[in-house]
Amino acid sequence: MTTTSVLPASTHVGAVHLNVRDLNGTAAFYAILLGLNAAAQTDTDVTLAAQGTPLLHLHAAPDLPRAPVSRPGLYHTAFLLPTRADLGRWLAHAAQLGHRIGSGDHLVSEAFYLSDPEGNGIEVYADRPRDTWTWRDGQVQMDTKAVDAAAVLAAAGIDPATLDSAVAFAAPQGTTVGHVHLKVGSAAQAAQWYQDTLGLDVVADLGSAAFLSWGGYHHHVGLNEWHSAGQPAPSTPAAGLGGVTFYTPDLGTLRTHLAGRADVQDAGDHLTLRDPWGNRVTVAQR
């Protein structure tokens, strides 16, 4: 784990933008699944927030085709809940909704997986305490094991035998987008781009996937080529990822670092550019 100077260590994921074919249906899905509220809404756009914190910006794109699995773009948006008890309450809620849910105990976190109606991946997770994470030679130790779902429910005081009882869920204060995981044509090339451009540290390198972060987090950005190896930047638009926003307290060093690059748009309070697979990346000062 190294300390970067391009962006402050407190830089983190802000909101994810999705272009969706069914705006009202997709907005309702996320609102119900995650207990989010519409912070802003027009005929073409909906911003969904957790206790006032925007997490998703949905833009109506009814004429765009659905993206094939092999297309570079979004693998999943990962919603981070503040505690394991919050995750248990969410799990009970999601189970009552009847969703098919996958899971993974990643040592640093416990996570559950599903997709929205348009095929965009979703992770809902809670971190284990940082002092329990293991680092070796600058790499955080992660794995994918079975989650003890009963223990996660128990952390919320829920008995699995009572899951037929109603469990209300609203995203609690402190819910964020903890990380975003992208599909790319080359994990190694993408990791190098994010490291060189935004100063992220590579904290786990699995060959076909890489995980990067600021400030010693287990990852703010995941990159994989599992379905998209060798794919170039898409030449035509499709529904799915519209862009990712990162928030930082200071843009000064990044602005200097990117000075002279023709692909950077500088709007004063934010910088926007695209990675080699056309994913729009915005870094906003906040």
- What pTM did the predictor assign? 0.96
Question: Does 4 reside within a domain?
Answer: no
- 145: which DSSP letter? B
- For 16, list phi and psi in degrees, rounded to 5: -105, 140
Question: Does 69 reside within a domain?
Answer: yes
| Domain encompassing residue 94 | 12-285
Sign of CA dihedral 227, 231, 233, 237: negative
The whole-number pLDDT of residue 2 equals 45
Cα angle for residues 234, 17, 50 (degrees, 5° grid): 155
Per cent of the chain over pLDDT 90 is 94
Q: Grade residue 163 by pLDDT with cuts at 50, 70 and 90.
A: confident
The whole-number pLDDT of residue 218 equals 98
The whole-number pLDDT of residue 1 equals 44
- Encode pLDDT of 183-192 as tens digits: 999 999 999 9
- Encode pLDDT of 193-205 as tens digits: 999 999 999 999 9
Q: What mean pLDDT comes out for the span 235-264? A: 97
Residue 4 has pLDDT above 60, yes or no: no
- Encode pLDDT of 149-161 as tens digits: 999 999 999 988 8
Q: How many CA atoms lie within 13 A of 227 on its CB side?
A: 12
Question: Does 7 reside within a domain?
Answer: no
The whole-number pLDDT of residue 165 equals 64
- Residue 12: closest CA among 190, 180, 223, 264: 180
End-to-end CA distance of the chain, in Å? 25
- Residue 44: closest CA among 69, 64, 56, 62: 62
Tally of structural domains, the chain: 1
The whole-number pLDDT of residue 162 equals 75
CATH number of the CATH domain containing 64: 3.10.180.10
Pair of tokens at residue 37: 């509220």
Q: CB neighbours of 230 closer than 8 A, spacing ≥ 6?
A: 185, 186
Q: What mean pLDDT comes out for the span 41-65? A: 98
From edge to edge, which strands make up the β-sheet containing 12-20?
Answer: 37-41, 45-50, 53-60, 12-20, 240-248, 280-285, 270-274, 265-266
The whole-number pLDDT of residue 3 equals 45
Q: What mean pLDDT comes out for the span 97-122? A: 97
How far is 176 from 267, CA to CA, in rounded Å? 25
Question: Does 5 reside within a domain?
Answer: no
How far is 104 from 146, CA to CA, in rounded Å? 6
Q: What mean pLDDT comes out for the span 94-106? A: 94
What average pLDDT does the structure give for the chain?
A: 95
Q: What mean pLDDT comes out for the span 42-48? A: 98
Question: Does 60 reside within a domain?
Answer: yes
Question: Does 185 reside within a domain?
Answer: yes
The whole-number pLDDT of residue 164 equals 64
Question: Does 2 reside within a domain?
Answer: no
- Encode pLDDT of 241-252 as tens digits: 999 999 999 999
Q: Grade residue 167 by pLDDT with cuts at 50, 70 and 90.
A: confident
Question: Does 1 reside within a domain?
Answer: no
